[in-house]
Structure 1
């Protein structure tokens, strides 16, 4: 039977997640180490993703995170939910093998609307690989020209759906930078070693790593995060539950790593912490139930109108207390927070913590 713990103070939930997500006093040594620990980090907004890594790697600058992507030490692709994520290169293949088929079924109707049959995907694959293997990585615009010239139209989102299909099936991947955009590379060239795992082994490992890096979390959180069937998730979980701690709170069962659970006894960090997190950060986005760190009454201020676009958040002691924005550029750039109405005014210590967080972000940008 897995170790058990009980939680009575709801404010503790966010601080436990800070520790799991390397936002407490346990930051990672490098971008590659951090992404490997987090397992997958949403990255549809590239600039936000760079800071999501940087805020968890003490002393890292934006150049360090870009270099990790540019070298292939961190890769960006569509491993789950039809959304771009940062992952470790050795993990991408087994993630795709777990999730691609289910996602393909979910968008089959859209592909029919766009006139994309499997033969079209195969033709696009051949066109893309012929060009990339002979001349090297290519821009998205350049690849779409190749598709168009080869009889695979790209208008009306058809091009991006073709590209997504080729990436989900492990033929293409986003590769090195060209300015502020990533070129598209051949998967087997850009990632010469990416593991293929049996489905049961892959899913069990996925579960274990999610709860270690995101816990406390529920099985439903993981099923939403990956869009894998909850029934299959529950079956695979039996293989790893002994390696996790069961946490009961308000009638719901959560799971987390023993190391983080031990902080409940030895001292949980983060009571006076303040973080400036990017939009789409895993601390907010990585769960289907976000109420432990975000008051439901403020949810529309983070995702206005439920449009799926997450704003930057101010997080104090594991609780989202407002949003923030960067105003100005260069030496005149400043971080401007906007705290939620009714939030207790910041005292001197909180103001100092905010100033340190802002200084850290500005330093990250100019590294």
Structure 2
């Protein structure tokens, strides 16, 4: 394996070649956690790895087989229902530092957060799914001018405490529901060491080849802890050193026979970019500012043979979806037509006509 081949291997490990059929929940469980603050794009992150339509993925999320909540880093992720409790037990204490800090600005300490939790539990009990605005109205918390940070901190704290998660969509509005009414608590709990080992192995098998610092960034745990857990599971992984940098990946990782010419129109915040500390394997340094910003805003990208060659955006119309593209380099019309064949899976996913402009 060479440094230039890393991105190809990641396409395999992240199931973007779609060599076998997987259900939406199987894709989420395979990847461990998929960043999901942009809900529409996060659904396509699943869709780009399966043959499921957007409606089918929405049904799986509404059913509670896939949970959307704050976990790992302080942002939303999709997590499989089977993983939600052990992953929350592991990562919630570190993420709660952010909610505790935000709460202090509004006079919220642990006691006030607990009081809010108790009220929210009564409010949502009996499979009562409510939007954040509806919950805040009952808590008598009015929207503030500074982006409503207090309500966000209250609900994130409730998520991290394992009280709430996403409920069923109410039209186009996201709701909250009680987690235990959606997913039953397991009878046994993993130790922190067991959970860390499980998380690390899941990451390297689904995102590898990846480095210690990649795992540290993705998991939110400091490099010292990540180094210890890699040492504990290294016999279950394979590794290769390239340019004095060690990359870890699954033991039975398939070789170049799996590679093929490919074009992918991938969503904003897709794991293929956001789950690594550095992204040079997939996108040239000179183009990175066109695909993501320093403050963490990622655009939808076009990948050809494992390399990002441009960005795209979609606008949903009444009877079609409009796709606009921006390539990093001048691209011939004939080649564009070949590249645009890569949008076919998005058309199938949306179940509507695609118009490219």
TM-score by length of 2: 0.92
**Residue matched to 2:130:** 138
1:143-185 Cα offsets, whole Å, 9 max, x none, are: 111211xxx6664411110110010010111121111223211
- In the superposition, relative to structure 1, how do residues 288 and 204 fare at CA in structure 2: closer, same or farther (>3 Å)? same
**Cα displacement (A) at 1:192:** 1.1
User: For residues 51 and 308 of structure 1, what CA distance do their matches in structure 2 show?
Assistant: 19
In the alignment of these two chains, the number of paired residues is 348
Quick check: 1:220 aligned with 2:213? yes
Q: 1:132-153 CA deviation, whole Å, 9 max, x = no partner?
A: 11561211111111211xxx66
Greater alpha carbon shift after TM alignment, 102-111 vs 115-124: 102-111
Indicate whether 1:325 and 2:318 are aligned.
no
State the partner residue of 1:115.
Answer: 107
> What residue in structure 2 maps to residue 301 of structure 1?
290
Cα deviation 1:320-341 (Å, max 9, x = unaligned): 1100122562444342321103
CA distance in 1, matches of 2:321, 2:341: 15
Q: Residues 239 and 248 of structure 2 are in contact (CA less than 8 Å); yes or no, is this contact kept in structure 1?
A: yes
1:285 pairs with 2:271: no
Give unmatched runs, 5+ long, in structure 2.
353-357
For residues 149 and 322 of structure 2, the distance between their equivalents in structure 1, rounded to whole angstroms, comes to: 37
1:43 to 20, 36, 40: 36
CA RMSD of aligned residues (A): 1.9
Q: Is the 8 A contact 1:154 1:160 kept in 2?
A: no
Structure 2 contact 127–178 (Cα < 8 Å) conserved: no
Within 5 Å, give how 1:84-103 maps onto structure 2. Answer: 84-103=76-95
3-state SS of the aligned residue for 2:174?
A: strand
**Does 2:324 correspond to 1:336?**
yes
Q: Give 1:32 shift.
A: 0.8
Aligned-residue offset at 1:35: 0.6
> Where has structure 1 moved over 6 Å in runs of 4 or more?
none
Q: Corresponding residue for 2:73?
A: 81
Segment drifting more, 24-33 vs 284-293: 24-33
User: Out of 335, 344, 350, which is 1:365 matched to?
Assistant: 350
Whole-angstrom CA distance in 2 between matches of 1:332 and 1:200: 50
TM-score w.r.t. length of structure 1: 0.89
- Residue 157 of structure 2, aligned match among 140, 160, 165: 165
The answer to whether 1:181 aligns with 2:173 is yes
The separation in 1 between residues aligned to 2:124 and 2:173, in whole angstroms, is 17
Out of 209, 212, 231, the residue aligned to residue 202 of structure 2 is: 209
Q: Which has the higher contact order (CA 8 A, sep 6+)?
A: 1
Match of 1:4 in 2: none
Q: Which whole-Å CA distance do the structure 2 matches of 1:280 and 1:244 have between them?
A: 27
Instruction: Quote the residue 1:269 is aligned against.
Output: 259
Quote how far apart the aligned CAs of 1:292 are.
0.7
Partner Cα distance (1:327, 1:127) in 2: 39
Q: Which residue of 2 aligns with 1:230?
A: 223
What does the per-residue CA deviation read over 1:326-359, in whole Å, with 9 as the maximum and x for residues that have no partner?
A: 25624443423211036x64755x733x333222
Aligned residue number for residue 3 of structure 1: none
Question: Is the 1:25–1:269 Cα contact (8 Å) retained in structure 2?
Answer: no
